[in-house]
Amino acid sequence: MASSSSRNGGTRGGSMRPISGANSSNLRSSSFKSRIPSSAPAPRRSSSGGDNGVPGRVRVAVRLRPRNADECVADADFADCVELQPELKRLKLRKNNWDTETYEFDEVLTESASQKRVYQVVAKPVVESVLEGYNGTVMAYGQTGTGKTFTLGRLGDEDTAARGIMVRSMEDIISGTSLDTDSISVSYLQLYMETIQDLLDPSNDNIAIVEDPKTGDVSLPGATHVEIRNQQNFLDLLHLGETHRVAANTKLNTESSRSHAILMVHVKRSVVEHEDSVSNETDNSSHFVRPSKPLVRRSKLVLVDLAGSERVHKSGSEGHMLEEAKSINLSLSALGKCINAIAENSPHVPLRDSKLTRLLRDSFGGTARTSLIVTIGPSPRHRGETTSTILFGQRAMKVENMLKIKEEFDYKSLSKKLEVQLDKVIAENERQLKAFDDDVERINQQAQNRISEVEKNFAEALEKEKLKCQMEYMESVKKLEEKLISNQRENGKRNGEVNGVVTASELAKLKESLEEEIKLRKAAEEEVNKLKSQSTLKTRSEEGEDAGISRLQKLLEDEALQKKKLEEEVTILRSQLVQLTFEADQMRRCLDRGAPGNSYSDTDSLPSRHSQARESVNGQKAPFATLCEQVGLQKILQLLESDDANIRIHAVKVVANLAAEEANQEKIVEAGGLASLLMLLRSYEDETVRRVAAGAIANLAMNEVSQQLIVDQGGISLLSLTAADAEDPQTLRMVAGAIANLCGNDKLQARLWSDGGIKALLGMVRCGHPDVLAQVARGIANFAKCESRATTQVYEGVKSGRSLLIEDGALPWIVQHANDEAAPIRRHIELALCHLAQHEVNAKEMISGGALWELVRISKECSREDIRSLAHRTLSSSPVFRSEIRRLGIHF
């Protein structure tokens, strides 16, 4: 593809090249209408300001739509009515087989031109001007069905390459602004039957146009303005607006727009304009810089998707559609008149003939940079409409606008800036004041320290002088004492000799006593050493004896422990033997008391029955079927109503074991056993009776006939009440198993749901026991499987569709335990998810509840091949799941 500059023959805003005379002479029979040279691109506004505008002509591009299926059939033998020369920016219109007219435009786009190419040559210069502060308008005009909405408003949800001018313009605006300092807001309107309606708020269906009496600017204060933060937010608004836009099916277009769509994008940008540095008058070497001026530039981008011009006899409009067509044609006609008047410099421009012309007064002859794209079709049947469209574009090329930047002084920004500077000055002043206070405090502290030091030095000098005086005094006293002692020695010399003799005799006595004490001490030490040696020998012998005794004690303890274990095992075995024997004897006695006229009550039969009980205790268990044949099923069922609690418990255990065999189930039901079991469940609060009765009902619920009888006799309600009252995990496991068996019957789905069976099943998860949770998961899987098999069902006025499991709030628990560590729970939950996903109406709630991720995981990681393939097949067949998977970018 050639670059944008080479296709335009230079820069976007450059003047158009005139056709030479040689070229014009070669056109012999064709007439030629030359283009009007375009003006130079609008430069940026200078920092000095000013209200003088920059001229900018309306740029017009023409786009040819390819033939549609109807035209390929109807016009197969006819050539297109137009011939494009994009490299010369020319269009030839065939009036007939020998005469053509040639027109030149700013851009000529063939039927193969991409949406990106159309945006770059038509709208991107306008968007760039809007980011610089100018107003801008991009408008699409043409016959109905020629691709105006495709060019301007295509969202491109499935193919990003098909995005139209609206989406691409917003992408460039968002990327060219800053969310911190700039703001973007959007209004989306439609002009329908000369009434301005808000596409973002359908209740706002009559918006008034307000004109500024000073500047003449047009505004719509009643329109909804939504601030845009990201591209997805903008796309959501476009989706919302498209759902409210009026469209109809005509002969020319299956989705013909019956209103003019107007998208207004308001851009507010903050800019800073710096002043030049100014020299100081007193010193040329020094200068200062004036503070920058905070400015706000407000610009507006108007994107207009005009409704298609049409001829009533071709579009087939009737009734209300005919009135719509009249309104459309009148507003387009008014727009054409205004363009003609502006192009011809007429003193009067009829802007007030239509609300469309009032809204676009700034686009034609105003201050906005305007680009117009006219769309045409190739069919020769619509040559008249194509000619009218081309002439409209040619007249629009003559319109000259004066581009102006709208900027104002940003008082709020300056005030905020000054507040910040003031805060800084105050903070600096406070800092300096604190530093001054710190300096004063430091000087005071230094003075105090110096005074303290002087006082300390004076005290030390005084103390030294005092010590010196004391020493001199002590020295004088010592000399006097020495003189006194010497005098005393001279006076008492004789007395000292006598005292010396006495002292020598006393010393001799002391020596003798000391030697005796030493001898006694040595003897005592020797005795102590002997005793220590004897004690050591004794201790060693005792230690050897203690080690032997410890070993013997350990052996005895091991023997005692082993003996104790053996005694405990023997005791347990004996107690089990006694208990089993007692139960067997008691059961026989119960049967004898329950049937006094029975032949089994004679004394001869008792030993044989007792021996059978002994055989069962010893490991050769007698079948309950044999017991039923010997005693009789009816007698056993009668014992269920016994007043004796022990008899009743033993009887219900026998019935539960009999119900475990399929051959006995019908017999028990026919004999009234089901009613008796339900009676026990209803009447007794004994946990053992309820547990065994629920187990017996669960066994009977494996038979389809019994399932119907359980439901008819109110069994679901009784099981639900038991599930709500019981706390024992084994009782809850039996109740959950019974309900899970009932969930597998397709015919009982509605009754099971209405009687509270599903809620009871979900309520039992409070127990948390793995066996109970496994039965709950099995019941949910059975119920979901039955729902998936039903194509059309009506449950007592509730039409099938949304899963009853989801109605009762089971989906969060299912998602939470979809990857449970316990294999039985995980397997049943994975099956339930796959079956729930087969209903398309459940898809959205499953996506919002997080079930989609679990389904993807199951399709990849499930250990069972059948569940893994079922999950993959379900995800592949659901359009909702496929769309969400594509949106999230999940590969499975």
Distance CA 223, CA 300 (A): 15
pLDDT above 60 (res 25) = no
**Half-sphere exposure of 374 toward its Cβ, with a 13 Å CA cutoff?**
26
pLDDT, residue 703, reads 78
pLDDT, residue 39, reads 37
Q: How many residues does the chain have?
A: 892
Provide the whole-model pTM.
0.45
Find the helix packing angle between 687-700 and 645-659, rounded to 10°: 20
Contact of 769 with 750, CB cutoff 8 Å:
no
- pLDDT 10s digits, 485-502: 877 777 665 444 434 434
Distance CA 564, CA 663 (A): 48
pLDDT above 50 (res 131) = yes
pLDDT, residue 114, reads 93
Give the residue-averaged pLDDT of 8-24: 33
pLDDT, residue 237, reads 93
**Confidence bin at 295 (pLDDT 50/70/90):** confident
pLDDT above 90 (res 109) = yes
Distance CA 860, CA 672 (A): 50
**Confidence bin at 29 (pLDDT 50/70/90):** very low
Q: 630 — alpha (psi -120 to 50), left (phi > 0) or beta?
A: alpha
- Report the range of poorest mean pLDDT among 54-58, 314-318, 370-374: 314-318
Contacts of 239 (CB under 8 A, 6+ apart): 155
Distance CA 407, CA 305 (A): 28
| Tokens representing residue 143 in the block | 């016959």
Contacts of 887 (CB under 8 A, 6+ apart): none
pLDDT above 60 (res 654) = yes
DSSP string across 433-488: HHHHHHHHHHHHHHHHHHHHHHHHHHHHHHHHHHHHHHHHHHHHHHHHHHHHHHHH
- pLDDT 10s digits, 333-376: 999 999 999 988 888 999 888 999 999 988 988 889 999 999 99
Q: For the purposes of burial, counting CB atoms within 10 Å of the CB of 102, is it exposed (0-12), middle (13-18) or buried (19 or more)?
A: buried
- Report the range of poorest mean pLDDT among 19-23, 554-558, 750-754: 19-23
Query: CA angle at residue 356 from 353 to 357, to 5 degrees?
Result: 55
Which one has a higher pLDDT value, 309 or 16? 309
Q: For the purposes of burial, counting CB atoms within 10 Å of the CB of 224, is it exposed (0-12), middle (13-18) or buried (19 or more)?
A: middle
pLDDT, residue 835, reads 86
pLDDT above 90 (res 58) = yes
In whole angstroms, how far apart are CA 645 and each of 635, 637, 652?
17, 14, 11
- pLDDT 10s digits, 218-231: 889 999 999 998 99
- pLDDT 10s digits, 260-283: 999 999 999 887 665 444 444 444
Which one has a higher pLDDT value, 408 or 778? 778
